[in-house]
Structure 1
Amino acid sequence: MKFYLAILLVIVAVVIADKEEDDVWRSYKKKYNKNHSSKEDANRKRNFLKKHKAIEAHNRVNKEWKMGHNKFSDMTEEETNVLLGTKMVKRRVKSESEPSYPLIERALPTSIDYRSNRCLQPVEDQGDCGSCWSFAAITALEFSQCKKTGARGPLSEQMLVDCDTYNFGCNGGDFTQAWQYLQDYGGAVNGSTYPYVSGTTKTQGTCNSRSNAVVARVGYFNWVIPYPNVTLIMSYLQSEGPLASAIKVLDSFFYYTSGVYSDPACIVSDEYDVNHAIVIVGYGTVPATTTSPAIPYWIVRNSWSIDWGNRGYFFIRRGVNMCNIESWAAYVRVA
């Protein structure tokens, strides 16, 4: 009798678990407007439930940062990898003279946050195109242009995707190569007249930029060197504004929602182990408590829409070169 009762309880538990999984899957599809064929739905559900279990397991034990569902939760690894378009070329130190910033004499604030600065354009969505490099290049250039002239306006990522022969469009690129292209071929054009479309078409278009449409010219750019140097990055954030950089993206990062991101697997020895371009827009520190030490962090802008992370931004641990973020910081100045 006890044996049959145990079997019955197992069956009931399985039925309840299946119903809960069905409910959370239906809720997810409704929230993110996911419409699949019957055949595809089963595969998408399997992807989603795998992520769902990983998210729940992470959130039970990790107190520093949280994961949550987003538009990526039912995607395959091949689909999410399309977003990772950074292909950094071998680092080249520019030979031009560069003004120094004496760190000992330079008073650095305890925190910087450019997210609400008028010179920072709204977060955009690169879509299913590996164009993160163009967004990193343009974001920093937009800020520099506004800082110098006071003119606040979008510049065109799509022009870089379509026209930049130094990079590879939706197949990836290097933001410093993008600045070099803009310096060599005239400059950046207005984003309103050459809007971003690659996220919906999945392809790069035919270049239709005209030199007389240029509204911002690259005057100078360089790496933050020597690297990795936390204090130097903080100094350049104060003097130059937002800095383009590159990181290594692990699967856990796709589902970041809040807190200070860190992952032991993201402290890597190879500086070229990066696959995604982002923009550092500030820094700060989570205060210490009676149960936990202070946590220094970078404030970082992504290009996966405001529906990802913290309205398009994330915090990542500062001072340990997490995911190589402190090895690739670079700045640009308009002419």
Structure 2
Amino acid sequence: MIKTSGVEYHRFVEGQKKPDPWERHASLVLRMALVFVASAALAMVTIALLSMNSTKSQLSQMMHKLEERTYDKTGSTFNQHYQQFLEFLKEHDRRYDDPEEFNFRFENFRKTIEKVENLKHLEKLTKTEFGINEMADKSEDEIKEMLLPLDHYKKLRKEATFIKPQPPRDQLPKKDQSPYPAHFDWRDHGVVTPSRSQHHCGSCWAFATVTTVETTYAIAHGVLRNLSQQELLDCNLENNACNGGDVDKAMRFVHDHGLMTADQYPYVAHRQNSCALNDYEGPTTKLELAYFLNPDENAMMEWLVNYGPVNVGISVPPDMTPYKSGVYHPSAYDCQFRVLGLHALNIVGYGTNEDGEKYWIVKNSWGPKWGVEQGFVYFARGVNACGIEDEPIGILA
């Protein structure tokens, strides 16, 4: 429970019940932040106008508009968003004591609400649901820090030294060639670990690599191990930890050294000064081979059913962060012109909904409170949405 300093709390809307101490603390921080922002804005307007030799009437008019905007923040919409933000902070166990930080997070939250409202028309057309999740108080700049550079996948196939082109079918281990089922999901076979969060670190490359190894190894050997992403951050020095990395270098590392378990080497979301693998003498989990698959839906389905998950990369548009459920259909325009960054993920299944919409079942690394079914997304299948079918990778373990 957060303690307050005895400051009396006044609600924006009269007649509501007396808030608990947590709300008093949050309200005090918010009021301080609003006073700071309003004062700074008024000062900036005054200085700017005086420097331009504006008339007294111009100054009065612009200050009146600013006062109206400040007053509007105490209206019913603002108060509703404020109450939603308090609930969000409690649900996700977050606390912002600094007034500037509190105001920054609240404004990000309000922008997310506006984004979700603007996406309501898509919900009606596609039955895709958007809403508030644990990323709602992050700025776009913070989200970009979690992603890979825009040219990452253009260079991957060209510069790869470990991942090879997919060989002919007769050179791969023989598998059942019967027709593929209409729906397939490796989660139903107990070989997919729960979705975990990469947090503020740009380590999607490590999470995607680890998931590929975990599930493929479990399929081949009947043992599911929750493996360590942190080992790749600390020990795979060819990659740049939270500043990005590529799966070619990561997969070579796993082939050469193997992965410890997440219990042995827990995730801390930053590169540490030493590599725990150097002092470890126990068994590790390795992969054997990695292939660039043919970039089309059928080749990806064939590999998925016969060998295991498909490691993929996508462009991330702004409307992916508030995704909650349904088949996600990013627009071609957003995938090309409104990209926040690139992102590595894993396809673990596929299906078709009652409306005939085909989708991939994709495991993300934004935590179990994001997306559908605790950390997954149903991504449109067969249309190369945001490049998801451009650079598929499969492994053998």
**TM > 0.5:** yes
Match of 1:94 in 2: 164
**1:66-85 equivalent positions in 2, closer than 5 A:** 66-85=129-148
Residues 1:116 and 2:188 are matched in the alignment: yes
Match of 1:116, SS state, is helix
TM-score, with normalisation over the residues of structure 2? 0.71
Matched, 1:299 2:361: yes
**Residue aligned with 1:40, SS:** helix
**Which residues of 2 match residues 104-183 of structure 1 at below 5 A?**
106-183=178-255
1:188 counterpart = 2:249:
no
Q: Among residues 230, 234, 248, which one is paired with 2:301 in the alignment?
A: 234
- Structure 1 position 44, deviation (Å): 1.9
Name the structure with the higher helix share: 2
SS in 2 for 1:171: coil
Aligned equivalents of 1:295 and 1:53: distance in 2?
27
User: Residues 273 and 55 of structure 1: is their aligned pair in 2 closer, same or farther, counting only changes over 3 Å?
Assistant: closer
User: Which residue type is aligned with residue 280 of structure 1?
Assistant: I
Residue equivalent to 1:333 = 396
**Contact preservation (8 Å) 1:220, 1:332:** yes
Structure 1 residue aligned with 2:87, among 6, 20, 27? Answer: 27
Whole-Å separation in 1 of the counterparts to 2:253 and 2:221? 22
Counterpart of 1:287 in structure 2 is 354
Cα deviation code 1:155-188 (max 9, x no counterpart): 22111111113311111111232111222x3322
**Alignment length, in residue pairs?**
310
Report deviation, 1:273.
Answer: 9.9
Are residues 94 and 178 of structure 1, via their aligned partners in 2, closer, same or farther at CA, if it must alter by over 3 Å? Answer: same
Percent identity of paired positions between Structure 1 and Structure 2:
28
Q: Measure, in 2, the Cα distance between the counterparts of 1:52 and 1:230.
A: 35
Note the C-alpha offset of 1:118: 1.8
Q: Tell me if structure 2 keeps the 8 A contact 1:190–1:213.
A: no
Q: In structure 1, list runs of 5 or more residues that go unmatched.
A: 1-10, 289-293
Counterpart mapping for 1:195-234 below 5 A: 195-198=266-269, 202-210=270-278, 212-225=281-294, 227=295, 229-234=296-301
The question of whether the paired residues in 2 share the 8 Å contact of 1:129 and 1:203 is answered with no
Query: What SS class does the counterpart of residue 187 from structure 2 fall into?
Result: coil
- RMSD after superposition: 2.7
Alignment partners' CA distance in 1, 2:111 and 2:315: 22
Classify 1:90/1:242 alpha carbon distance in 2 versus 1 (closer, same or farther; 3 Å).
closer
Greater strand content = 1
* Structure 2 unaligned regions, length at least 5: 1-70
1:116-153 CA deviation, whole Å, 9 max, x = no partner? 33221121111111111111111111112222221222
Q: 1:61 to 1:320 in 2, by over 3 A?
A: closer
For residue 274 of structure 1, report the CA deviation from its aligned partner.
6.1
C-alpha contact 2:346 2:364 (8 A) present in aligned 1 = yes
Inter-partner Cα distance in structure 2 for 1:140 and 1:213: 22
